[in-house]
Amino acid sequence: MQAELEEIRKDAREKLKEAKDTADIERVRQKFLGRKGVLARQMKMLGTLAPDEKRAAGKLANELKEKISAQLSVRLEELREVKSGGKDGAPFDVTLPGKKQPVGKLHPITQTIILIEKIFGELGFRSVRGPEIETEFYNFEALNTPGDHPARDEQDSFYIDKGILLRTQTSPVQIRVMEREKPPVRIVASGKCFRRDATDASHSPMFHQVEGLLVDEEVTFGDLKGVLGVFLERMFGADVKTRFRPDFFPFTEPSADVSISCIICGGKGCSSCGGSGWIEILGAGMVDPEVFKKVNYDPEKYVGFAFGMGVERIAMLKYGINDIRLFFENDMRFLSQF
């Protein structure tokens, strides 16, 4: 009887595979599981067997019945899916276009920082980061800006506690690196800075800076001009001219304000450059010996230069953006263009 049950099992599987619709399935059900079906006939024959055989064959017959019943349900479900076109039951139109998956990308400010770091990286500068919450010592005093210094007024900050503030510049990172490491030092530090500025087209209370520092035994102002000249050419194109004018920063002496020839009018003068043909782009200078004393570098032995720039300003010039607020409004129509 086992052999017969095995035959029934194979037969049922074949018939189910051939079934094309629910009517076919119903015919298979009747043939195998119906009251006058194949299995019912086998069950009747059980009575003719010896008790031992009867128990074994009965068990097999029951298992087979359950198996065929389960296969019927599965096949029925398969046929329903084919008919409706998908598991969710909705009609499926193969001619419809696919669903587009939105792909994220880096913010234009992040892209600009990466580009600046790449250019300086090729010039041998290592990228470093530092804390956004600073002490007054690192943010001001170590940078030669004591409490009564007028430069502090320009950098009114957000204080968290007495002597603890959101950094107003990335320069404190330079101090932290010089405390840790002996010259030669060649770094660029980038990140967020904060000042209590009212928001307008060119000011934001949160903005980004990249600052560079090079300290070694024989460094001249000529090296500074060379490094910044290469950087500005790679950033804004080989045609760009650079201009250095005397300026003041507490932590450099001499200090310079660096401009590039206007990339809109090419130096002829237009509304973007206020008719001058020049656009101020960064500040730089030779590190003041007083700063070296604060970090125990010998000012008789070491010389260095430092420079700093606003990332938003670089990005606005490079991409022709006229309002700093666009960077932080998170409008995808703006951000997706970069």
Q: Is 193 in the site for Zn ion (CB under 5 A)?
A: no
Among 173, 262, 303, 311, binds Zn ion (CB under 5 A): 262
DSSP 8-state symbol, 24:
H
Single residue of 5, 33, 60, 265 touching Zn ion by CB under 5 A = 265
Based on CB atoms, which residue is closest to Zn ion, 1 or 270?
270
Under rule CB under 5 A, residue 260 binds Zn ion: no
Distance of CA 125 to the CA centre of its chain: 23
Given the DSSP bridges, would you call strands 126-128 and 185-194 parallel, antiparallel or unpaired? Answer: parallel
Residue 151 near Zn ion by CB under 5 A: no
Q: Is 273 in the site for Zn ion (CB under 5 A)?
A: yes
Question: Under the criterion CB under 5 A, does residue 25 sit at the interface with Zn ion?
Answer: no
- The residue among 110 and 272 lying less far from Zn ion, judged by its C-beta, is 272
End-to-end CA distance of the chain: 76
Nearer to Zn ion, 267 or 310 (CB): 267
Q: Tell me the β-bridge partners of 203.
A: 200
Which stretches does DSSP call E strand in the chain?
A: 126-128, 133-135, 159-161, 164-166, 185-194, 206-216, 242-249, 252-261, 278-287, 303-310
263 binds Zn ion (CB under 5 A): no
Would you say 211 and 188 are in contact if contact means Cβ atoms under 8 Å apart? Answer: yes
Residue 112 C-beta: closest distance to Zn ion, Å = 21
Tokens 């010998």 -> residue? 298
Does residue 142 interact with Zn ion by CB under 5 A? Answer: no
d(CA 107, CA 252): 32
Minimum CB separation of residue 265 from Zn ion in Å reads 3
Q: Which stretch binds Zn ion (CB under 5 A): 2-10, 129-137, 243-251, 258-266?
A: 258-266
